Amino acid sequence: MSKVLLITGASKGIGLATAKRFSNAGYTVVNLSRSPCAIDGASNLAVDLTDVSWVADFSVQILAAVGEPEQLVVVHNAAMMTKETVRDIEAQTLRNVLELNVVAASRLNTLLLPRMEHGSSIIYISSTLGTKAVANTHAYVVSKHAVIGQMRATCQDLAGSMIHTAAICPGFTETEMLSAHLGANPDVYDQITATIAHRRLAQPSEIADTIWFASQSPVINGAVIDANLGQIET
């Protein structure tokens, strides 16, 4: 059975761990990101998903890399996190974040759905901030809430197609993006882990295992799955 994973943003973090998980399970990996995915045999297309012309420029190459598999898993993983508040956010910042975190997924779905057979899946990577909010991360919070709505709409639109979908909501995960957002202050990490039931950050491989489960389990179609080691509510 020919199986393909098409994933965005697989050069590092959760995306790289997910690409490794699927590659080890026998999937051909196609990565769309500006930086390559360091996995033997992966097809890397240097697509900038924030550039509105990417579909016109890369659709032929993307479809050629995907081929006509018996099962296609699409993982919408690429994301941008910025720092701003409702008081100072610039319109272009919000547009840029939404373009990558939300719009790119929609455009990829339109391109790839004709290649998706029964048993294929579309997995969206949202966030704990897809169902709640924190200060100073306005655009990211807005976009990750939108991702959950996008997944739920996808489930309804694909009813009867035998293609399933889910949204994974990672909590604080030890990635380069989180480190860049929080900075190197150890006190910040102590404050964060104090809110996690397991008192540690999630590992990208743990999120990858959750994505794998969702992709193989049509029974959870339309589900929002928290992957956060347990949040301590105050």
SS3 218: helix
| Segments making up each domain of the chain, as ranges | 3-172+203-227
Read off the amino acid at residue 219.
V
The answer to whether the CB of 151 falls within 8 A of the CB of 223 is no
The better pLDDT of the pair 87, 200 is held by: 87
Over 80: is that where the pLDDT of 200 sits? yes
At position 181, the amino acid (one-letter code) is H
Q: Give the model's pLDDT for residue 43.
A: 96
Q: Are strands 223-227 and 43-45 parallel, antiparallel or unpaired?
A: unpaired
Mean pLDDT for 185-195 is 80
In the three-class reduction of DSSP (H, G, I as helix; E, B as strand; rest coil), residue 81 is classed as coil
Q: Pick the closest to residue 223 from 149, 158, 152, 162 (CA basis).
A: 152
Question: DSSP 3-state assignment of 170?
Answer: strand
Q: How far apart are CA 7 and CA 19, in angstroms?
A: 7
Return the pLDDT at 173: 87
189 — pLDDT class (breaks 50, 70, 90): confident
The model's pLDDT over 149-172, given as tens digits with 9 standing for 90+, comes to 999 999 999 999 999 999 999 998
Average of per-residue pLDDT across 143-150? 98
Quote the CA–CA distance of 217 and 115 in Å, as a whole number. Answer: 20
In the chain, % of residues over pLDDT 70: 95
Report pLDDT digits (tens) over 84-142. Answer: 999 999 999 999 999 999 999 999 999 999 999 999 999 999 999 999 999 999 999 99
Extended strands (E) in 34-148: 43-45, 71-76, 121-125
DSSP for 130-171, written as a single string: GTS--TTBHHHHHHHHHHHHHHHHHHHHTTTTT-EEEEEEE-
Q: Buried (b) or exposed (e) across 174-188, using 16+ Cβ within 10 A?
A: ebeebeeeeeeeeee
Instruction: Answer yes or no: is pLDDT of 179 > 90.
Output: no
**Residue 182 pLDDT class (50, 70, 90 cuts):** low
pLDDT digits (tens, 9 = 90+) for 3-39: 999 999 999 999 999 999 999 999 999 999 999 999 9
pLDDT tens digits, 42-94: 999 999 999 999 999 999 999 999 999 999 999 999 999 999 999 999 999 99
CATH class (in words) of the domain with range 3-172+203-227 = alpha beta
Q: Which amino acid belongs to residue 66?
A: V
pLDDT of 188: 77
The answer to whether residues 29 and 41 touch, using CB atoms and an 8 Å cutoff, is yes
pLDDT band at 187 (very low <50, low <70, confident <90, very high): confident
Q: Assess whether pLDDT exceeds 80 at residue 198.
A: yes
Give the span between the Cα atoms of 36 and 45, in whole angstroms: 8
pLDDT of 1 reads 74
Average per-residue pLDDT in the chain?
94
